[in-house]
């Protein structure tokens, strides 16, 4: 396997620090780090981004996330390992990632459930995080970045 080009975020001067800066800003929404890790993993699974799935899973494990939770993110609806707030974040992440799947990409019931668990600042951080994960997924998938290869 070989990437088409180096990761675009490393090719254009200043791109990676700017992108990582947005990640830092998104984290200021005060959404719990484990929730952000789960959201990152689920979005990356949906988009088929091997780089983000491998990196995200490794980072989550290093920060203490359990194997049971990580192994069942793809089936979070049927798994007993997630809180109601995490489930709301995962549902929001799925809808915001699969925008073309329905005429109302993020239905009110999904948004309202998330809003029942997160305040406006947290919703903003979560939405930025979902968008940023989708952004990274698209860079990596388009250029066929290889999982496990350091930038």
Q: What is the pLDDT of residue 1?
A: 82
Q: What is the pLDDT of residue 150?
A: 72
- Best CA proximity match to 46, nearest among 78, 74, 77: 74
How would residue 149 be classed by pLDDT, with cut points 50, 70 and 90? Answer: confident
Over range 81-105, report the average pLDDT: 96
Enter the CATH code of domain 32-142. 1.20.1290.10
Long-range CB contacts (within 8 A, 24+) of 51-57: 51/136, 51/140, 51/145, 51/146, 51/147, 51/149, 52/133, 52/136, 52/137, 52/140, 53/147, 54/147, 54/148, 55/147
Over range 52-69, report the average pLDDT: 94
What tens digit of pLDDT does each residue of 1-39 get?
899 999 999 999 999 999 999 999 999 999 999 999 999
């Amino acid at each position: 396997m070989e990437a088409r080009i180096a990761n675009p975020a490393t090719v254009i001067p200043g791109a990676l620090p700017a992108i990582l800066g947005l990640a830092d800003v998104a984290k200021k929404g005060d959404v719990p780090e484990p929730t952000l890790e789960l959201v990152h993993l689920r979005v990356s699974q949906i988009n088929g981004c091997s780089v983000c799935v491998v990196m995200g899973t490794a980072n989550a494990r290093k920060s203490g996330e359990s194997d049971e939770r990580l192994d069942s993110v793809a089936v979070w609806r049927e798994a007993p390992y997630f809180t109601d707030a995490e489930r709301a974040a995962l549902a929001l992440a799925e809808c915001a990632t699969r925008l073309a799947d329905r005429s109302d990409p993020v239905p009110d019931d999904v948004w309202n459930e998330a809003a029942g668990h997160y305040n406006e600042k947290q919703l903003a951080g979560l939405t930025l995080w979902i968008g940023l994960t989708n952004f990274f997924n698209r860079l990596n998938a388009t250029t066929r970045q290889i999982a496990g290869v350091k930038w």
